[in-house]
Amino acid sequence: MTSATPTASDDAAQKRVVTARPAARGALEVRDLILVAVLLAAGAVLKLTLASVLSVAGMKPNFVIAMYALAIIITRPKLGQSLAIGLIAGLMCQLPLMAATPLVNIASELVGALVCGLLIHVPLKLAGKVDASPFVVTFLTTVASGYTFVFVLAFMNGIALPAAVVGYALMVFGTAAFNAVLVQVLVMPLRAVLKR
């Protein structure tokens, strides 16, 4: 007959399992999924409304990229999950009025999310105190997404690649700078709210 009382070895095994669970971070929780959905929706609404108002010399801020970069920076998902967020952002851009070039955004947002998902694990602190990671990650994410868009567009329309790179440089880097500042400003208060 076996005893129903747990042994010392059973207790030790349960403690190992319990302590191992919090360390195994990576899967997005319900709270994270809600945050991603809200930020992507906000990015879409802002792109449809405020982006045109803030347009300067043909440059418009791309709130969709800024918001999915912010979502990835805050939730710190696995790389595959980052790609899924980028895919959803690209698919959202297929909605009427969101993109003049269907399907190109899917490729560009996938590349942007890939870059963002890789860079969130690189610590970037200035003077050991100021976390510059949101600014740098968002800037590089936007540049990667923007130039992927440019490369695909150039290929589809038979435009010489060097001419496309130079021609779109101001637009890509201007948008990247705007997105980077926006995310750097939003990331701290959003993290504080989530901690509460």
Q: Give 139-170 pLDDT, tens digit per residue.
A: 999 999 999 999 998 998 888 989 999 988 98
Local structure of residue 28 (DSSP, 8 states): P
Query: Chain-wide mean pLDDT for the chain?
Result: 81
Name the nearest CA neighbour of 103 among 87, 117, 85, 81.
87
Give residue 22's pLDDT. Answer: 36
Close Cβ partners of 9 (under 8 Å, ≥ 6 residues apart):
none
Name the nearest CA neighbour of 141 among 96, 176, 186, 97.
176
Give residue 159's pLDDT. Answer: 87
Give residue 140's pLDDT. Answer: 96
Confidence bin at 24 (pLDDT 50/70/90): very low
- The residue ranges of every structural domain in the chain are 29-195
Q: Give 43-74 pLDDT, tens digit per residue.
A: 888 888 877 667 666 667 789 999 999 999 99
In the three-class reduction of DSSP (H, G, I as helix; E, B as strand; rest coil), residue 100 is classed as coil
Give residue 78's pLDDT. Answer: 92
Give residue 20's pLDDT. Answer: 35
Residues listed for the chain: 196
Residue 77 has pLDDT above 70, yes or no: yes
Q: Of 7-16, 21-30, 118-127, 138-147, where does mean pLDDT reach its minimum?
A: 7-16
Handedness of CA 43, 44, 45, 51 (dihedral sign): positive
| CATH hierarchy code of domain 29-195 | 1.10.1760
Say if CB 49 and CB 64 are below 8 A apart. Answer: no
Q: Give 118-142 pLDDT, tens digit per residue.
A: 998 887 776 667 778 999 999 999 9
CA 192 to chain centre: 19
- Helix ranges restricted to H, the chain: 8-23, 30-53, 63-75, 79-92, 104-119, 133-157, 161-167, 169-195
For a pLDDT cut of 70, what percent of the chain falls above it? 77
Give residue 31's pLDDT. Answer: 84
In the three-class reduction of DSSP (H, G, I as helix; E, B as strand; rest coil), residue 6 is classed as coil
Q: CA 187 to CA 131: how far, in whole Å?
A: 10
**Comparison of pLDDT for 8 and 152, the residue scoring more:** 152
Give residue 98's pLDDT. Answer: 61
Confidence bin at 4 (pLDDT 50/70/90): low
Distances (CA, A) of 179 to 20, 69, 106, 195: 37, 9, 19, 24
